[in-house]
Every structure is written in C-alpha cells, then in structure tokens.
Amino acid sequence: MNRLNTALGAKVYDYIRDPATGVGTDEIKVAFIYKPDKVTPAGAALSDPGTVYNRQPVAQTFVLNANGETFTPVINHLKSKSGTGTGADADQGDGQGAFNFTRVQQAQALLGFVNQLKTTTGDSDVLVLGDLNAYGEEDPIDVLRNGGLVDELGKFVKDPYSFVFSGQSGRLDHALTTSSLSRQITGATEWHINADEPRSLDYNQEFNPPALFQPNPYRSSDHDPVVIGANLTSTVTVITGGNRNDTLTGTSGRDNMNGEGGNDTLRGGNGSDSLNGDIGNDILLGQVSNDILKGDNGDDLLDGGQGQDKLYGDDGRDRFVLAIGAGADIVQDFTDKIDLIALSGGLTFGQLTIEKSAKNTLIKVTATSELLATLNGVNANTITVSDFVAI
C-alpha cells in the first residue's frame, strides 16, 4: 500500500482493516483496497466465520461520496480445483476438478451470508466478487444463480473468460449481484491484461530482460481482473411526523425526515438522509452514510453516526455527539457557552486535541490524529473542557 501511494500520490488508496471475526488461517487471504476520495467505508468489515471456508469471505459496506448511495461488495476465494480430494471431494471426472463438493458447500454458505448482509447492513445492494474456482457453468455458480444472484459477466459478455489453463479459456473470476443492485449495473467485462500473456513473460519469472517490456499493463497475475460499472441511484422517501412526540425510522435508501411539532426521535437508515427536527426538543440519529441533520427550534441532540455528516443545531441549547471511528463531521453552527459537544463510547476530553484551522476548530483524537469534527467559524482558543459532556 505504501509503495502504491508513493507511486500515485499520498492517500490515493487505503485498505480495509481485517474484520473482528477474522479472515481465516490460509496462506491466501482476501482483502479490499479503495479510493477514499470516491467512497467511504460505513462501519467495520464483516466476515462469515463458517468453518466450511478455508478463506473466509469479507464484506464491507461503502458510501459513494458523490451522492451518499451505499453498496456492499463481498470478496471471495473458494477452494482450489487442484489436489487429490477424497470421497465426495475426489475428482468425479465431470470436468469440475477436485473439491467440487466443498465449493458447492461454500457457495451455499456464501448465499446465506449475502442474505444475512442485507439484514445486517439494511441495504439490499450486495456484490459478490472474486476467484470462485468454478467455471461459469459449474455447480457452485449454479447454486448462486439459483439463489437469486445475477451473473453480470454472463449478462454483458458473450464469451467471458478470465483464466487460461493448458490452452483452454474460461472464467474463474465472477461478479454476481442481488436483484436490486443488478438494476443499477451499467456494464461488466474482464480486463485482459494477464491471462493471455505467456507464462514465460510473467512478472515473477527469471526470464525478464527489460527489452521485452513496455510501460503499460502487463501480466502481473494468472487471472484477469473483472471490471464492473454501476450508476447507484435511489428515490427519496419523505417521512413526516405530526404535532405529537413521534418516533420516525428511515428506510435503507435516501430519506427526507421531518419531525414537525413535539419532541421527536428521528432515526435515519443506511442511505444519505436529511433529518429535520423542526419544533421541539428532538433527537436526530443519522445512522449510516453521509447525512444532514438540522435541529431547528428546541434543545436538540444530533448524532450523525457513521459517515461524514453535516450538523446544524439552529436555535436552542444543542448537543453534538462525537465518537471514535464514526467519521469526520462538520458542525455548522456551534455556539460557545450555549451548545455542547457530547462524547460517547467512553471518549474523554483528555483524549482530544483542539486545533485551529483558518477560522475553524478541529477536534482530533490525540493518539491517532483521527479527525472527529470541524467546528465551522469557531475560534479554537475559546474551546475548553466546559464545552464537552459525556453521554
């Protein structure tokens, strides 16, 4: 990662940290790298800890910075065809190689993991990627298609292939989507920069005189990468309360929520939401994605949750919630001696650094330099421990 960013520029790429549930103990492990200027991780990565896998699939929900839409890719590497399996895993002579029984079990477990993710993340847009070690018409791929996933390469490419073995071409690398995401896929293809090149010119072979190579993509693997195009969009759902004390809950898409009168609680969903408390002492909870929270009149509590949120307290004595790992929020109208910064998850003022940035104030975690919030138009010299409260 450091060498990649050295070549392309600082912080062009970042990587997803391993999930708490682990990634297995195999010498091969799956992982994500991403561009922070394009997408923002929503929450921590997840993996399926099932024992059927030798390499656990890893999932990460991302928020598209351009419009706040979310999707969850799942990266995989199923059991290899090579080796001498025994029993049901022995080569059955049907062209699917050894360990097909295990790959079918892994595909069934993966399908269950995908369905679980739709509930866990609140977002139905899931993308299954990776080396499934099964060609396009083999049993494991049938399990996934029959389970409702859409084969995007099969849909967009007439004769897809990503791998060449003994002169025969096929695809071991796949992209399958849930039906809701499939409607937003604009294209799918393989980038043929690896599989067609002879092994004698491989990047890791000893025969590699400089005269053979040009400064363009070359065989850096024996598999071709898969490229997916998507236009992530959704409709906006309007949710409005009344003049009583309402509790409003958002959808998995984009919501425009209005509390109206009363002391309301507004909970956004996984989309990029707009929460407006209106009149009363309201609680605004953005949850996942890049949200906009406006307290309006009253003494409000604003908690953006995961993502890069914009918080407007407006009139009243408001509290703006900050937490480690929840994203860098922008507090648009913090008023010293009236509003408060509410620290959650055991975070204390002693763990923070208060910095000046032009006419704004930055609140960071001292130990990690993680930016928690920017207080727009606030003089850093006026911010003291009295501006903070624990919740």
Tokens, residue 247 = 């509790």
DSSP string, 198-257: -GGG-TTSS---GGG--SS---SSSBPPEEEEE----PEEEEE--SS--EEE--SSEEEE
pLDDT at residue 39, rounded to an integer: 95
Beta-bridge partner residues of 185: 230
pLDDT at residue 178, rounded to an integer: 96
pLDDT at residue 122, rounded to an integer: 78
pLDDT at residue 97, rounded to an integer: 92
Digit-coded pLDDT (tens) for 246-267: 999 998 778 899 999 999 999 9
Distance CA 269, CA 391 (A): 22
Q: Are 327 and 308 in contact (CB under 8 A)?
A: yes
145 burial via Cβ count (<10 Å: 0-12, 13-18, 19+): middle
pLDDT at residue 206, rounded to an integer: 66
- Please name the residues in contact with 106: beta carbons below 8 A apart, sequence gap of 6 or more: 52, 53, 78, 79, 140
Distance CA 359, CA 271 (A): 31
pLDDT at residue 205, rounded to an integer: 65
Q: Are 248 and 238 in contact (CB under 8 A)?
A: no
Q: Are 265 and 248 in contact (CB under 8 A)?
A: yes
Q: How far is CA 51 from CA 48, 69, 80, 106, 144, in A?
A: 9, 33, 16, 9, 19
Question: What number of helices (H) and strands (E) belong to the chain?
Answer: 5, 30
Regions of the chain with pLDDT less than 50:
none
Distance CA 79, CA 52 (A): 10
Q: Are 184 and 232 in contact (CB under 8 A)?
A: yes
Please identify which residue in the block is written with the tokens 């002693």.
350
